[in-house]
Amino acid sequence: MAKQEKDTLTTLELQIMQVIWRRGTSNVNEVQEGLEQKLAYTTVQTMLNILERKGKLKRKLQGRAYEYSATVSEAKALSHAVRDLVDRMFGGSSEELVMSLIQSRQIDAEQIARLSKKLDEQGGGEE
C-alpha cells in the first residue's frame, strides 16, 4: 500500500475516527452508538480493523472485547487530508487552493484579513 493511501482516510474511516477522538478509547459497540449513520456491528468491526492495519488505531483486549484508541491526533489527520487535497487537486500549490477559495467566493478579503491577523498573533503560525 502506498504511503499516501495509508495516510488518507475514507469518509467512513474519518467518521469512525471522529467518534474515537470525541469519546476516547472505545469498543465496537461504543463506536457503533457514536456514529450518526447506523451501521451493522460487523461493518464497524471491519472498519476498526482496517484502521488498525493502517496504523490509525491500536487495539487492546479488555475482557472479551477489543478496545480501540487513536494513534494519530485529529490535527495530524487534518494536516494529511489538506496536504492530500492540495497535492491531488492543486498540483501541490497551496496558493492555488487559496486562489480557488477566493475565485469561488468561499472566502473574501475580510476573512483573509482576519486570518492574517490571527496568524500574526500566533507568531506567524509557528508553534
Same domain, 63 and 106: no
Q: Which domain holds residue 34?
A: 3-70
Question: pLDDT tens digit string along 83-124?
Answer: 989 999 999 999 999 999 999 999 988 998 999 999 999 876
Provide the number of structural domains found in the chain.
2
Residue type, 43: T
Question: pLDDT tens digit string along 63-81?
Answer: 999 999 999 999 999 998 8
**Structural domain includes residue 126:** yes
The DSSP secondary-structure symbol of 11 reads: H
The residue among 3 and 56 whose pLDDT is bigger is 56
Question: pLDDT tens digit string along 25-63?
Answer: 999 999 999 999 999 999 999 999 999 999 999 999 999
Q: What are phi and psi of 70, to 5 degrees?
A: -70, 140
Same domain, 49 and 16: yes
Q: How many angstroms separate the CA atoms of 12 and 65, rounded? A: 22
